[in-house]
Structure 1
Amino acid sequence: MTSTLTRTPTVTRLGKNIGAVIDGINLSGDITDDEVEFIRTALATHKAVGFRGQFLDDDSQYAFASRIGTPTLAHPTVHSTGLDRLVIEGAANSWHTDVSFVDRVPKTSVLRAVTLPPYGGSTIFANTVAAYNALPDALRVLADNLWAVHSNEYDYAGSTAANVDYRREFTRVPFETEHPVVHVHPETGERALLLGHFVKGFLGLKSREFQDLYDIYQDRITRPDNVFRWDWQEGDVLLWDNRSTQHYGVHDFGDHVRNLHRVTLAGTVPTSVDGEQSRIITGDASEYSVIDEVRPLVDYQGDAAVL
């Protein structure tokens, strides 16, 4: 599909560090190559981008996702809601990068609204590149040399009987991976912090040392000036660069139903600033996802990109 853009899409920035809305593209499996590159460049620049009024179904969501990357299975362990997409009921209510406990961290998530509560249920995103760039020199040098263990057996504090079955499925196959705390984005060359709630420790540090340092870096990531809030509307589709963000589904909608469907796209194995790749401790993610081939971004000019 090599035809040029039939109309000029536009990007409206929603925050200095993260967040934008794209207009002028109808999402489907028939988007053009130019539209694919426009979306990829907008994602690299703004880290999380939304589309209003798309009203996709499961098939058209998957077809669109397949145009901008290679879909993974729904999840490394959670298959009860299907193999092509993950059905998210409720909200995580915790900061995380999707599936960071495997070696091949997904590059992009494509999320659409299916059933929304009458209030609440927003998703908040944080830019882990901007957070790294804003670190004082001492914290930046330390982060460059830290490695973290990510696990799907993370802290489930506050679990209730209603999600015991989900937790059992989530952890039925153990995964643990050593990732650099700072990795180099494979398409932009930017350095980003790779943390979130799947982290259980830093290599060589005691648990209290880990927790103190983790809190320092997480607080930097989630500062108010480094986040963007997406208030869901019917028909919305939201994409984020999973390699340079964390996100938080807000559980502020009481007993109302919040149902979202997610398709995830294959990524690469993170690489440290010294060129070392992440290391598997436990678990084989090859059935879950291929390792993506890196494609250069033709028009990407960093934060100064004109879209």
Structure 2
Amino acid sequence: MSLIPKINLKNKALIEKSGGKITALTPLGARVEGIDLSAKQPPSDEVISALEMEMANRGFLVFKNEKQISEDDFLRASCWWGGKELLSTHGVHPETPNANRHIFRLSNDPAHGITGVGPQWHNDGSFVSKTFSHSGYHIIRPAENGGGTEFAHQGAAYDALPYDIQSYWNRLSSVNSNSGVVHPLVHKHLISGRKSIWLHLGMTGAVIEKLPDQDSFRLLDNEELKKLCHTYNDILNQGMDNGYAMTFEYQDNDCVFIDNMAVAHRASKAAHMPRDKQGLRILHRSTVKGMKNFAPHFDLPQSFGLDRPHKFGSGVWIRGGIGFRWDTGIPMQN
């Protein structure tokens, strides 16, 4: 039995009535055709809601574009989703078209874009309280020898966990190593209603546990946090064999929009291989403002000053950079 819902027939009919077509990818995601991202007039609110629901359920949508779309087309379509407004916190590479601050230009060649980004499972915007609702990826130049993005469905991953780990993770909250913002490790998705796991493996400075049957909290220590990160990494990796994770390889002019609260992602190893081995790869990313604060449970505050004393006892509490280095043998870069 698939852990990823089938495309809703009502949504499918509504999209087709508008001239579009949606087809499930295997094992997650969906391909959308016949909806022109370069059109100045967006689809109807009903069609956008149907697409957004499928994105929440299946994780991401791939728009196949018959003609080349512009940066403005891509950014305009990014605002169809979630908070309906771009929220951009990244640096601007010198090769970014028109120095547009809303385009995060990524590449495997430093002359063409920022390199080495996102090698471990993560969700974008873990350092802000109103975490990005959606992210967009427009492939400008796919590498000749591959270099895609890996996606893992976090609702399906939660369902795949043993009950005792589910119970434990429901009591955990992560602290971002750069901003001190706090997010729950398990949340209920705003659109799908599905319980989902959520942790940034490249920017976590601490994890706080709500003690069972007590009104008190504690920090995970070094070994506990290392075990948590490895278990989280393992359950997402297992989706590659168990039908809830995949590597998506881009084709010319693809636009991928992801529900940032439904799927974790990371760059494939091939995406970071040098240009002389893979060919040149260039990808533009957009990020969309969240719909509401991604607030922790148990009346924990939304953020902490990482340079100030806390009341959670001894344990891992790291400020800055990639945060807790849970595996010394892997590349970690935000």
Q: TM-score by structure 2 length?
A: 0.70
Instruction: In structure 1, give the amino acid aligned to 2:57.
Output: T
Listed as ranges, the matches of 1:36-115 within 5 Å are 36-54=48-66, 55-68=68-81, 69-75=83-89, 77-79=90-92, 81=96, 82-90=100-108, 91-92=116-117, 93-115=119-141
Partners of 1:278 and 1:67 lie apart in 2 by 31
Pair 190,276 (structure 1): closer, same or farther in 2 beyond 3 Å: farther
Partners of 1:23 and 1:277 lie apart in 2 by 44
Instruction: In structure 2, give the amino acid aligned to 1:200.
Output: G
Partners of 1:277 and 1:245 lie apart in 2 by 25
Q: 1:125 aligns with which of 151, 155, 159?
A: 151
Partners of 1:10 and 1:89 lie apart in 2 by 31
1:103 touches 1:278 (CA, 8 Å); kept in 2?
A: no
Deviations 1:228-249 (A, max 9, x none): 2211111100011101111111
Instruction: In structure 2, give the amino acid aligned to 1:141.
Output: S
**RMSD of equivalent CA atoms:** 2.4
Q: Which has the higher contact order (CA 8 A, sep 6+)?
A: 1
Deviation at 1:222, TM superposition (A): 2.4
1:5 touches 1:32 (CA, 8 Å); kept in 2?
A: no
Instruction: In structure 2, give the amino acid aligned to 1:186.
Output: L
4+ runs deviating over 3 angstroms: 3-8, 79-82, 274-278
Partners of 1:44 and 1:141 lie apart in 2 by 24
Partner residue, 1:269: 293
Partners of 1:78 and 1:278 lie apart in 2 by 28
Matched, 1:279 2:302: yes
Number of aligned positions between the proteins: 256
**Any unmatched runs of 5+ in structure 2?**
1-13, 109-115, 209-218, 307-334
Listed as ranges, the matches of 1:286-301 within 5 Å are none
Partners of 2:59 and 2:194 lie apart in 1 by 12
What SS class does the counterpart of residue 279 from structure 1 fall into?
coil
2:88 touches 2:286 (CA, 8 Å); kept in 1?
A: yes
Pair 245,277 (structure 1): closer, same or farther in 2 beyond 3 Å: farther
Instruction: In structure 1, give the amino acid aligned to 2:281.
Output: R
Deviation at 1:47, TM superposition (A): 0.8
Partners of 1:190 and 1:60 lie apart in 2 by 31
Partner residue, 1:247: 265
Deviations 1:258-305 (A, max 9, x none): 211112111122245x5757612259xxxxxxxxxxxxxxxxxxxxxx
**Any unmatched runs of 5+ in structure 1?**
153-174, 284-307
Partner residue, 2:21: 10
Deviations 1:129-149 (A, max 9, x none): 111112111000000001111
Partner residue, 2:317: none
Q: 1:137 aligns with which of 152, 163, 168?
A: 163
Partner residue, 1:20: 30
Q: 1:176 aligns with which of 180, 192, 211?
A: 180
- Range with bigger deviation, 88-97 or 206-215: 88-97
Identity of aligned residues (%): 23
Listed as ranges, the matches of 1:160-171 within 5 Å are none
Partners of 2:175 and 2:161 lie apart in 1 by 22
1:97 touches 1:195 (CA, 8 Å); kept in 2?
A: yes
Q: TM-score by structure 1 length?
A: 0.76
Deviation at 1:121, TM superposition (A): 1.0
